[in-house]
């Protein structure tokens, strides 16, 4: 019985952590979408010769930033799996996922993808990173709009005048 209680407690802890990580991923996704929109709006703005010049002058630097970020993420994945892998996730798969994600990010701002990985090696992540498809049952979530001790102030002085018990 003790082991069952420990497991249930752990599941609740992990469920909370998963929810927090999902919120963080959704938030970061929104930041990414806004940044991509700004870059693309500048890029597509008619007759903006200055921005076109900046794009050409900094293109190599932008690719270098992507390379640095991909390298850092791969080193982190290597560290995470330094003691082994798990079913459905390994260092190699995570390296490919990092490349796939970088390619998507580059395409989103009209750059040519720089990495070999063309398809998502971890397709199950799409469900967790796409907040549009997420739906929770009411009993599975905390309802933030629930009012405790609220009083509606729409009762008039004479409202119960004709009321009889």
Q: What are phi and psi of 86, to 5 degrees?
A: -135, 170
Q: How far apart, in Å, are the Cα atoms of 119 and each of 55, 93, 126?
A: 27, 12, 12
Contacts 24+ apart (CB under 8 A), 155-158: none
Rounded (10°) angle between helices 91-108 and 2-44:
30
- Written in H, E and C, the secondary structure of 96-116 is HHHHHHHHHHHHHCCCCCCCC
Task: Indicate the pTM of the whole model.
Answer: 0.67
Q: Where are the domains of the chain?
A: 1-44, 49-121
Q: What is the pLDDT along the chain (165 residues), one digit of tens a residue?
A: 444 444 545 556 667 777 777 777 778 888 889 999 988 888 877 678 888 888 889 999 999 999 999 999 999 999 999 998 888 889 999 999 999 999 999 999 999 999 998 899 988 887 766 655 555 555 555 555 555 555 566 667 777 777 676
């Amino acid at each position: 019985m003790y082991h069952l209680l420990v497991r249930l407690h752990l599941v609740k802890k992990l469920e909370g952590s998963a929810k927090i990580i999902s919120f963080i991923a959704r938030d970061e996704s929104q930041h990414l979408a806004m940044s991509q929109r700004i870059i693309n709006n500048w890029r597509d703005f008619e007759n903006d010769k200055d921005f076109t010049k900046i794009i050409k002058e900094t293109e190599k630097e932008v690719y270098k930033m992507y390379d640095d970020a991909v390298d850092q993420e791969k080193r982190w994945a290597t560290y995470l799996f330094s003691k082994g892998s798990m079913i459905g996730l390994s260092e190699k798969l995570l390296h490919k996922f990092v490349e796939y994600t970088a390619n998507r990010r580059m395409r989103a701002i009209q750059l040519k993808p720089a990495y070999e990985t063309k398809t998502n090696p971890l397709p199950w992540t799409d469900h967790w990173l796409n907040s549009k498809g997420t739906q929770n049952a009411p009993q599975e979530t905390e309802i933030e709009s629930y009012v405790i001790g609220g009083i509606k102030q729409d009762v008039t002085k004479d409202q119960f005048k004709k009321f009889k018990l």
